[in-house]
């Protein structure tokens, strides 16, 4: 802020006096009708003649039913009824209100005594579903664990969704200034990332409107606003356009945008607990329109973004509060009286410092002063204590610029700049105070925050600055701000110090009891599992005695069986995502019991590879078969054996015949145990196959049929090159760099591909959704490599491939259809990458491409 030439102070309230909700105009991309409760048109914007074919003067005083087609009002009345109490707005997309084929998007809301109808002509009447994009875009945001990373992803998503040149995520600070924490901008634009905007850029009445009406589009800053006729109602008041979607723009704000070189903008509110947390600010260098239907999708995306931001921040705050509560019991034993608190101050200070970051802590209790770390002297604190006595003693008091509230702190021997004071008595007498040191900060503003002033009808007013180039300012006498989590944790600690001892003791006892119950449950579960393991080991120890010629032999046999059993368990739990050898599965199960006599199990037929679902089911079935044969069947006898025959059927299915021979005569079991149930029901139930179990006198016989979809001819274990891990290893010889181009018509896939290329080392990745856009990017800039989707909706990427080839830029072809033979033949140095691709497969593809290209 600067003074006027006559040194008259500038009245900052002049900015707040502008009643932007009563401007009396609408933007010309839509028209407005104000209808009374009995559906008579009382006001109309001057452009209804152009949009609706009826001049505003002829509409005023007429019944809305005479304008809208039959049935439209009935639908609108129903929509308004669902709103309840006139809150919010009814949104209707693709409606034909006049019955003449012209299509509009419509918003209807209640404003005072009127329903405000706002209509926007709809040029694109095709089938669209922007709402379907919201979920995958917010899913990308949700994967980011930190606020800045979430904001960066949200800016990218919003730019892709709306087509604006620049999208900024703007977070408000405690002093109401705003900082750009994330930005997605078109190439060539000067970055605003990290810049700070002063609080006066968004005056209080604008903030209030952002909380009530979360989305604001300005299609063209130079478009002539359309007046609402008549300007005043019967009571001499203008219409309240607070919830209007087409409300005209403050001339001061239009001046602000023009100074920035912005021709069109859109702002979307990010709210937390109903308060303005930040904005998504979108800018465009030329007029730019986002229709109402897409704006609704943008609004939904931002609401979900708000929930995600709130969840992250609330989670951090809850964690801090939880740590404060964890001190509850530990601190309580030291705080039965003032002497105990003082005697245990060092421990208390250390524990508080673990919950709330600070540079020093002081305690004043019963006229005794204790301090540790960076803290004032007793004499300095005595004056501060008197100042704190004038502050509400019933709450925590936080300030990060103490010198503003208590100028005497500038003379403290200790350079403290911020305090967090916890009153710990009923009166303003005893305190625990946390201190933070001065944090000298260089704030980079978007232009000089001291705005010029000029005379106006209401006196001197601040005018938008004309330069937005970075302007640095060094800030002194300020500490790191106390977060909401710090304050909430401090309040929790303060309450802990004031609570009744017995009540806190009861809570502590109850918590200890719950912890003891949980511990007892865990011990019982652990005891159960240990007993099962011991029983299994004891069984192996017992079975391994037979046939052992010596203690060394016995130890070797036992060790081998335990090792085989462990390997079988690994196979069972690790067969995820790849096929596996059936013969290998059978041999692993056999090794667990008769490793020294594997020849007693004769496996014939061709080995096959099983899908993970079949492998898991068969692992259980074979484990039961081998276990039963070893314990009760042919493998129990010295001369018994098992025949396993693998046969591929004509339809591709697999038949497994299990026959036990040479053992004791077999009798059918009196009942069906768990093992028998697994053998008979697993394959039919889980795979839709067949299982037949026959207890023949000569030995158990079983036949299984595995459907063809679970069987493949390749019996070897999965080749390493087919896994992401192996692809990563194969591609480690190459690391990408430079500038990359991704041509892909699916927005989500394009963003994922750009992320992968960035992770693989590319310095900059640019995306294009069609051939025309890609060719323009190639003409105006250079690229080091590219990834091209072969099929781009109604066109192919062949022209792009030709342009890249002419410039010597290596590229990969990506396809989800596999129809790439013609292109592959034309461009042998462009390997095809099949969707869905991964980081590993893309790295391997570019490794093959670049090595083949001699780079």
- The yes-or-no verdict on residue 674 having pLDDT over 70 is no
In the 8-state DSSP scheme, what is residue 175? T
Rounded CA gap, 216 and 265, in Å? 8
Segment 71-94 shows an average pLDDT of 79
- The yes-or-no verdict on residue 216 having pLDDT over 70 is yes
Question: 852 or 175: whose pLDDT is higher?
Answer: 175
Given pLDDT bands bounded at 50, 70 and 90, which one contains residue 816?
A: low
Segment 792-820 shows an average pLDDT of 82
pLDDT at residue number 31: 97
Segment 348-355 shows an average pLDDT of 85
Q: What is the pLDDT of residues 640-656, one digit of tens each?
A: 899 999 999 999 999 99
pLDDT at residue number 839: 79
Segment 20-27 shows an average pLDDT of 88
pLDDT at residue number 488: 87
DSSP3 helix / strand / coil % (the chain, rounded to 5): 40, 25, 35
Ordered alpha helix ranges (H), 213-335: 251-260, 292-332
Q: Which residues pair with 475 in a beta bridge?
A: 441
- The yes-or-no verdict on residue 765 having pLDDT over 90 is yes
- The yes-or-no verdict on residue 11 having pLDDT over 80 is no
- The yes-or-no verdict on residue 552 having pLDDT over 70 is no
How many CB atoms lie under 10 A from the CB of residue 716? 11
Segment 289-304 shows an average pLDDT of 94
Rounded CA gap, 540 and 557, in Å? 10
Rounded CA gap, 547 and 553, in Å? 9
Q: Which of 25, 23, 22, 31 is nearest to 292 (CA)?
A: 31
Burial of 534 (0-12, 13-18, 19+ CB in 10 A): exposed
pLDDT at residue number 363: 86
Question: 536 or 28: whose pLDDT is higher?
Answer: 28
Sheet with strand 690-696: strands edge to edge: 601-605, 641-648, 654-661, 699-706, 690-696
| pTM metric for this prediction | 0.60
Residue 68, CA distances (Å) to 73, 583, 725 in order: 7, 76, 64
How would you classify residue 577: left for phi > 0, otherwise alpha for psi between -120 and 50, otherwise beta? left
Given pLDDT bands bounded at 50, 70 and 90, which one contains residue 463?
A: low
pLDDT, mean over the chain: 80
CATH numbers and ranges of domains, the chain: 20-121 (3.30.450.20), 131-219+248-313 (3.30.450.40), 333-440+476-499 (3.30.450.270), 551-712 (3.30.565.10), 720-852 (3.40.50.2300)
What's the start-to-end Cα distance of the chain, in Å? 58
Given pLDDT bands bounded at 50, 70 and 90, which one contains residue 343?
A: low
Q: Which of 254-268, 536-550, 757-771, 782-796 has the lowest mean pLDDT?
A: 536-550
Q: What is the pLDDT of residues 249-284, one digit of tens each?
A: 988 889 989 988 999 999 999 999 889 999 999 999
Burial of 212 (0-12, 13-18, 19+ CB in 10 A): exposed
Angle CA 356–362–366, to nearest 5: 130
Strand, helix or coil for residue 802: helix
Q: Which of 60-74, 109-123, 132-146, 428-442 has the lowest mean pLDDT?
A: 428-442
Percent of the chain with pLDDT over 70: 77
Angle CA 68–74–75, to nearest 5: 95
Given pLDDT bands bounded at 50, 70 and 90, which one contains residue 28?
A: very high
Burial of 203 (0-12, 13-18, 19+ CB in 10 A): buried
Question: 302 or 624: whose pLDDT is higher?
Answer: 302
Q: What is the pLDDT of residues 183-195, one digit of tens each?
A: 999 999 999 998 9
Task: Note the residue count of the chain.
Answer: 855
Question: 470 or 729: whose pLDDT is higher?
Answer: 470
Segment 305-333 shows an average pLDDT of 80
Rounded CA gap, 58 and 819, in Å? 61
- The yes-or-no verdict on residue 813 having pLDDT over 50 is yes
Q: Which of 54-58, 152-156, 719-723 has the lowest mean pLDDT?
A: 719-723
Q: Which of 117, 103, 110, 100 is nearest to 44 (CA)?
A: 117
- The yes-or-no verdict on residue 7 having pLDDT over 50 is no
* CB-facing half-sphere around the CA of 424: CA atoms within 13 A: 24
Alpha-carbon torsion 730, 732, 734, 738, what sign? Answer: positive
Residue located via tokens 């707040």: 16
Rounded CA gap, 193 and 170, in Å? 9
Residue 589, CA distances (Å) to 12, 569, 595, 700 in order: 83, 9, 9, 18
Question: 617 or 110: whose pLDDT is higher?
Answer: 110
In the 8-state DSSP scheme, what is residue 549? -
Q: Which residues pair with 433 in a beta bridge?
A: 362, 421
Q: What is the pLDDT of residues 520-532, one digit of tens each?
A: 655 654 453 344 3
Tokens of 236: 């001499």
Rounded CA gap, 394 and 821, in Å? 77
Percent of the chain with pLDDT over 90: 37
Question: 790 or 825: whose pLDDT is higher?
Answer: 790
Q: Which of 154-163, 468-477, 742-751 has the lowest mean pLDDT?
A: 468-477
Question: 839 or 442: whose pLDDT is higher?
Answer: 839
Strand, helix or coil for residue 6: coil
Rounded CA gap, 733 and 851, in Å? 9
Sheet with strand 441-446: strands edge to edge: 215-218, 264-272, 275-284, 166-172, 178-185, 196-197, 441-446, 470-475
- The yes-or-no verdict on residue 401 having pLDDT over 50 is yes
pLDDT at residue number 567: 46
């Amino acid at each position: 802020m600067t003074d006027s030439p006559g040194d008259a102070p500038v009245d900052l309230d002049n900015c707040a006096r502008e009643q932007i909700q009563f401007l009396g105009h609408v933007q010309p991309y839509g028209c407005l009708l104000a209808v009374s409760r009995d559906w008579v048109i009382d006001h109309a914007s001057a452009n209804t003649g152009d949009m609706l074919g009826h001049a505003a003067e002829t509409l005023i005083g007429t019944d809305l039913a005479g304008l809208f087609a039959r049935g439209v009002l009935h639908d609108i009345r129903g929509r308004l009824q669902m709103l309840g109490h006139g809150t919010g707005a009814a949104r209707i997309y693709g409606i034909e209100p006049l019955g003449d084929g012209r299509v509009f998007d419509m918003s209807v809301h209640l404003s005072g005594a009127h329903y405000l109808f706002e209509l926007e002509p709809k040029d694109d009447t095709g089938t669209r579903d922007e709402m379907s994009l919201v979920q995958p875009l917010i899913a990308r945001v949700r994967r980011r664990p930190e606020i800045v990373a979430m904001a960066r992803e949200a800016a990218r998503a919003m730019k892709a969704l709306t087509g604006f040149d620049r999208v900024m995520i703007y977070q408000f600070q405690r002093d109401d200034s705003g900082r750009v924490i994330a930005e997605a901008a078109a190439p060539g634009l000067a970055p605003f990332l990290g810049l700070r905007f002063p609080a006066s850029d968004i005056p209080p009445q604008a903030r209030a409107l952002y909380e009530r009406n979360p989305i604001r589009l300005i299609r063209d800053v130079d478009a002539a606003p359309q007046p609402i006729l008549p300007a005043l109602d019967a009571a001499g008041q203008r219409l309240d356009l607070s919830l209007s979607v087409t409300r005209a723009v403050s001339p001061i704000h239009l001046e602000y945008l023009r100074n920035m070189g912005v021709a069109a903008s859109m702002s979307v509110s990010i709210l937390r607990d109903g308060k303005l947390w930040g904005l998504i600010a979108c800018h465009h260098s030329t007029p730019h329109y986002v229709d109402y239907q897409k704006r609704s999708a943008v609004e939904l995306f931002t609401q979900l973004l708000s929930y995600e931001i709130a969840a992250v921040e609330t989670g951090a705050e809850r964690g801090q509060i939880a740590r404060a509560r964890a001190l509850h019991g530990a601190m309580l034993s030291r705080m039965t009286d003032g002497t105990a608190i003082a005697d245990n101050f060092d421990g208390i200070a250390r524990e508080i410092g673990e919950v709330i970051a600070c540079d020093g802590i002081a305690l004043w209790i019963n006229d005794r002063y204790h301090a540790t770390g960076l803290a004032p002297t007793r004499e300095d604190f005595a004056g501060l204590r008197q100042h704190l006595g004038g502050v509400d003693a019933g709450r925590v008091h936080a300030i990060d610029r103490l010198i503003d509230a208590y100028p005497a702190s500038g003379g403290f021997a200790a350079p403290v700049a911020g305090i967090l004071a916890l009153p710990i008595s009923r009166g303003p007498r005893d305190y625990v105070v946390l201190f933070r040191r001065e944090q000298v900060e260089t704030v980079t503003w978007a232009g000089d925050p001291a705005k010029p002033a000029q005379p106006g009808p209401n006196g001197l007013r601040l005018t938008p600055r004309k330069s937005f180039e970075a302007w640095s300012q060094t800030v002194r006498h300020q500490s790191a701000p106390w977060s909401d989590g710090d304050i909430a944790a401090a309040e929790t600690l303060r309450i802990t110090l004031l609570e009744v001892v017995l009540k806190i003791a009861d809570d502590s006892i109850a918590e200890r009891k719950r912890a003891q119950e949980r511990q007892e449950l865990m011990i019982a579960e652990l005891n159960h599992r240990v007993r099962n393991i011991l029983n299994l080991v004891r069984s192996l120890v017992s079975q391994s005695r037979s046939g052992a010629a010596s203690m060394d032999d016995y130890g070797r046999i036992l060790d081998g069986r335990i090792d085989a059993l462990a390997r079988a368990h690994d196979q069972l739990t690790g067969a995820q995502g790849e096929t596996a050898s059936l013969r290998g599965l059978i041999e692993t199960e056999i090794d667990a019991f008769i490793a020294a006599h594997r020849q007693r199990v004769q496996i014939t037929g061709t080995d096959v590879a099983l899908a993970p679902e079949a492998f898991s089911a068969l692992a259980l079935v074979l484990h039961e078969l081998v276990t039963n044969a070893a314990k009760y069947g042919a493998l129990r006898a010295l001369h018994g054996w098992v025949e396993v025959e693998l046969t591929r059927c004509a339809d591709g299915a697999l038949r497994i015949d299990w026959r036990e021979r040479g053992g004791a005569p077999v009798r059918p079991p009196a009942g069906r145990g768990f093992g028998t149930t697994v053998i008979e029901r697993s394959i039919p139930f889980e795979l839709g196959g067949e299982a037949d179990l026959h207890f023949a006198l000569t030995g158990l016989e079983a036949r299984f049929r595995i459907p063809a979809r679970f069987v493949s001819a390749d019996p070897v274990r999965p080749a390493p090159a087919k896994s992401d891990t192996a692809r990563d290893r194969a591609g480690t010889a190459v690391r990408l760099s430079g500038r990359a181009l991704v041509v892909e018509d699916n927005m989500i896939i394009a963003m994922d591909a750009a992320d992968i290329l960035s992770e693989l080392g590319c310095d900059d990745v640019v995306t294009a959704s069609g051939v025309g856009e890609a060719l323009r990017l190639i003409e105006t800039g250079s690229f080091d490599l590219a990834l091209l989707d072969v099929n781009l909706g109604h066109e192919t990427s062949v022209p792009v491939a030709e342009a890249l080839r002419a410039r010597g830029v290596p590229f990969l072809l990506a396809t989800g259809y596999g129809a790439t033979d013609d292109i592959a033949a034309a461009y042998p140095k462009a390997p095809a990458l099949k969707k869905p691709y991964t980081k590993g497969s893309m790295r391997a593809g570019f490794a093959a491409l670049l090595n083949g290209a001699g780079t």
